[in-house]
Amino acid sequence: MKNINDAPFLKELKDTTANMYRLGYDERNGGNISRMLDEDEVAEYLDLNNVIRTIPTGFSAPELAGRIFIVTGTGKYFKNVKDDPETNLGIIRITPDGCTAELLWGFKDGGRFTSELPAHLMSHIARLSVDPSNRIIMHCHPDYTLAMTRVHEMDERAVTRTLWKMMTESIVVFPEGVGILPWMVCGTNAIGEATAEKMKKYRIVLWTLHGIYGCGKDMDEAFGLIETVEKAAKQYILTAGLPQVNTITDENLRDLAARFELDYRRDFLDL
Ligand code: 2HA
Ligand code: ZN
């Protein structure tokens, strides 16, 4: 059995949480990440018959029976993951009835998975139904995205148009636009269900006055989506209220979409 501290998926999560903390996306215990793992990948490092303890998830996700996830812990700080992954992260397997998580590694201090597990697992189900290659669900609190949800009309078409027009790369990176939820109580099954519903159509979901969800086949895709939205939101906040001398027009967006052969939300353009 190999040492789990050498596992690439653990190194990736340590690097990603440290990076996101440094960027200011995850203050205190803000943010959470889950990554689905293949059984073979985990079996190199852990005895899959050794269940440390079981933790009820509080909802039923039979679609994920037997699926294994590495996930950040509730109340844990991203800044601390790198130095103590075994306390701040856990590897869980969903039981056949989909209601319980079997802890295979981690949460060493008796802790448990993120309070946003419903949003994560329900979003995994939603994404897998439209993209079987999806592995990552990522949530964080980046400043400019959050600020934008305070001052911008929170309509999917309107927000997407603003983000697309802030910088040329936006429509290339998220041609399907961004999904939006109104302010809701977090950590509940209700916000999990609402997020997952949006995830069937979008890889980015904004939680008004809270933060952002991203997903992807790997950490780069999920993080890349979030940092691109955050960059566009930064342009918006830096220039909101100033005269808009130069703009990206709807015709420009259409031309970009043609050049990059994008499958984009044509109904989000006024053409
Ligand atoms: O885990 O970000 O949404 C802390 C949060 C809750
Ligand atoms: Zn949050």
CA-to-CA distance for 28 and 15, rounded, in angstroms? 17
Catalytic pick among 102, 116, 156, 227: 116
pTM for this entry: 0.97
User: Same domain for 29 and 1?
Assistant: yes
Same domain assignment for residues 60 and 141? no
Task: State how far Cα 233 lies from the chain centre.
Answer: 17
- Kindly report the CATH number assigned to the domain that includes residue 183: 3.40.225.10
Neighbours of ion ligand 2 (CB under 5 A): 211
* Dihedral sign for Cα atoms in the order 10, 14, 20, 25: positive
Q: Count the neighbouring beta carbons within 10 Å of the beta carbon of residue 7.
A: 21
Number of domains in the chain: 2
> Among this protein's residues, is 116 annotated catalytic?
yes
Please count the other Cβ atoms lying within 10 Å of the Cβ belonging to residue 194. 19
How many Å lie between the centroid of ligand 1 and the Cα of residue 187? 7
Residues 165 and 100 placed together within one structural domain of the fold: no
Q: Is residue 59 a part of any domain in this protein?
A: yes
Which ligand sits nearest to residue 212's alpha carbon? 2
- Do 140 and 270 fall within a single domain? yes
Residues 268, 159 within the same domain: yes
Q: Which residues line ligand 1 (CB under 6 A)?
A: 29-32, 114-116, 139, 186
CA distances from 122 to 31, 126, 158, 200 (A): 17, 6, 26, 11
Q: At 154, give phi and psi (nearest 5°).
A: -95, 70
pLDDT tens string for the chain (271 positions)? 999 999 999 999 999 999 999 999 999 999 999 999 999 999 999 999 999 999 999 999 999 999 999 999 999 999 999 999 999 999 999 999 999 999 999 999 999 999 999 999 999 999 999 999 999 999 999 999 999 999 999 999 999 999 999 999 999 999 999 999 999 999 999 999 999 999 999 999 999 999 999 999 999 999 999 999 999 999 999 999 999 999 999 999 999 999 999 999 999 999 9
Residue 206 and residue 147 share a domain: yes
Kindly state whether residues 4 and 101 are assigned to the same domain.
Answer: yes
Distance 106 CA to ligand 2 centre (A): 22
The whole domain housing 103 covers 1-115
Residues 108, 142 share a domain: no
